[in-house]
Amino acid sequence: MESPTAEAPKGNFIRDIIDADLASGRCKTPVTRFPPEPNGYLHLGHAKSICLNFGIARDYQGVCHLRFDDTNPTKEETEYVEAIQRDIRWLGFDWRENLFFASDYFEKLYEIAVHLIRKGKAFVDSSTAEELREQRGSFTAPGVESRFRERSVEENLDLFARMRAGEFEDGAHVLRAKIDMASKSILMRDTLLYRIRHAHHHRTGDAWCIYPMYDYAHPLSDALESITHSICTLEFADHREFYDWVVAEAQELLPSTPHQYEFARLNVDYTMMSKRNLLTLVEEKLVAGWDDPRMPTLAGLRRRGVTPAALRDFAEMVGVAKANSVVDLGKLEYCIRNDLNFTAPRRMCVLEPLKVVLTNFPEGHAETLEAADFPPDVGKPGTHALSLTRELYIERTDFERAPPPGFHRLSPGAEVRLASAYIIRCDEVVERDGQVVELRCTYDADSKGGASGRKVKGVIHWVSAERGVPCEVRLYDRLFLSEAPGAERDFHEELNPASLAVHAGAIVEPVLVGDPAGSHYQFTRLGYFCSDIVDSTAARLVFNRTVSLRDSWTKPVVEPAAVLAPASAEPKPDADKRPGKKSAGQRRADVRAEDPTLLSRLDRYRTVLGLSEEDADLLTGERQISDFFDEACGVYAKPETIAKWVVNDVLREVKDQAASALRLRPAALAALARLVDEGAISSAAGKAVFAKLIAEGGEAQAWVERLGLLKVEDQGALAACIEKVLAGSPEQVRKYREGKKNLLGFFVGQVMKELVSADPALTRELLTKRLDA
RNA sequence: UCGGGGAUCGUCUAAUGGCAGGACGCCAGUUUCUGGAUCUGGCUAUCAAGGUUCGAAUCCUUGUCCCCGAGCCA
What are A462-482's pLDDT values in tens digits? 999 999 999 999 999 999 999
Residue A732: is its pLDDT beyond 50? yes
Per-residue pLDDT tens for A110-166? 999 999 999 999 999 999 999 999 999 999 999 999 999 999 999 999 999 999 999
**What's the CA–C1' distance between A321 and B17, in Å?**
23
A137, A149 contact by CB (below 8 A):
no
Cβ atoms within 10 Å, residue A207? 11
pLDDT band at A722 (very low <50, low <70, confident <90, very high): very high
Is A27 in a helix, a strand, or coil?
coil
Residue A4: is its pLDDT beyond 50? no
Residue A185: is its pLDDT beyond 70? yes
Q: Which amino acid appears at position A593 of this protein? A: A
Query: The whole model's pTM is what?
Result: 0.94
**What's the CA–C1' distance between A641 and B15, in Å?**
32
Using the C1' atom of nucleotide B67, identify the protein residue whose alpha carbon is closest.
Answer: A324
How many whole angstroms separate alpha carbon A721 and alpha carbon A657?
Answer: 40
- Who contacts A32 (Cβ-Cβ below 8 Å, separation ≥6)? A53, A54, A56, A57, A62, A63, A64, A65, A227, A228, A229, A230, A231
Element (H, E) at A563: helix A560-563
In the prediction, which pLDDT does A573 show?
39
A65, A41 contact by CB (below 8 A):
no
Per-residue pLDDT tens for A425-466? 999 999 999 999 999 999 999 998 766 678 899 999 999 999
Positions of A marked active-site: 37, 265, 275
Per-residue pLDDT tens for A511-567? 999 999 999 999 999 999 999 999 999 999 999 999 999 998 865 444 444 455 555
How many whole angstroms separate alpha carbon A670 and alpha carbon A746?
Answer: 31
Residue A182: is its pLDDT beyond 60? yes
- Tell me what percent of the residues of chain A surpass a pLDDT of 70: 95
Using the C1' atom of nucleotide B4, identify the protein residue whose alpha carbon is closest.
Answer: A238
Using alpha carbons, list the distances in angstroms from residue A550 to A476, A527, A554.
Answer: 15, 8, 9
User: Which residues is A356 bridged to in the sheet?
Assistant: A392, A439
DSSP A170: T
- Tell me what percent of the residues of chain A surpass a pLDDT of 90: 83
Q: Which residue has the higher pLDDT, A659 or A383?
A: A383
Residue A384: is its pLDDT beyond 80? yes
pLDDT band at A731 (very low <50, low <70, confident <90, very high): confident
Residue spans of beta strands (DSSP E) within A167-239:
174-177, 192-196, 210-212, 229-233
Per-residue pLDDT tens for A606-646? 999 999 999 999 999 999 999 999 999 999 999 999 999 99
**What's the CA–C1' distance between A526 and B37, in Å?**
14
In the prediction, which pLDDT does A737 show?
87
Residue A206: is its pLDDT beyond 90? yes
In the prediction, which pLDDT does A561 show?
42
Nucleotides of B under 7 A from a protein CB: 1-8, 10-20, 22-27, 32-38, 51-55, 59-74
Residue A570: is its pLDDT beyond 70? no
Instruction: Please provide the average confidence, as pLDDT, over all residues in chain A.
Output: 93
Residue A3: is its pLDDT beyond 60? no
What's the farthest any 2 CA atoms get from each other in chain A? 110
In the prediction, which pLDDT does A452 show?
65
Answer yes or no: is the ipTM higher than 0.85.
yes
In the prediction, which pLDDT does A717 show?
86
Using the C1' atom of nucleotide B27, identify the protein residue whose alpha carbon is closest.
Answer: A552
Residue A2: is its pLDDT beyond 70? no
How many whole angstroms separate alpha carbon A242 and alpha carbon A248?
Answer: 10
Query: Burial level of A558, CB count in 10 A (0-12/13-18/19+)?
Result: exposed
In the prediction, which pLDDT does A62 show?
97
In the prediction, which pLDDT does A367 show?
97
Closest nucleotide to A323: CA versus each C1': B6
Per-residue pLDDT tens for A255-298? 999 999 999 999 999 999 999 999 999 999 999 999 999 999 99
**What's the CA–C1' distance between A494 and B66, in Å?**
24
Q: Where are the alpha helices (DSSP H) in A666-742?
A: 666-677, 683-696, 700-707, 715-728, 730-737
How many whole angstroms separate alpha carbon A547 and alpha carbon A747?
Answer: 49
pLDDT band at A754 (very low <50, low <70, confident <90, very high): confident
Using the C1' atom of nucleotide B39, identify the protein residue whose alpha carbon is closest.
Answer: A377
Cβ atoms within 10 Å, residue A765? 11
Residue A772: is its pLDDT beyond 90? no
| Least confident window among A46-60, A124-138, A394-408, A730-744 | A730-744
**What's the CA–C1' distance between A33 and B11, in Å?**
30
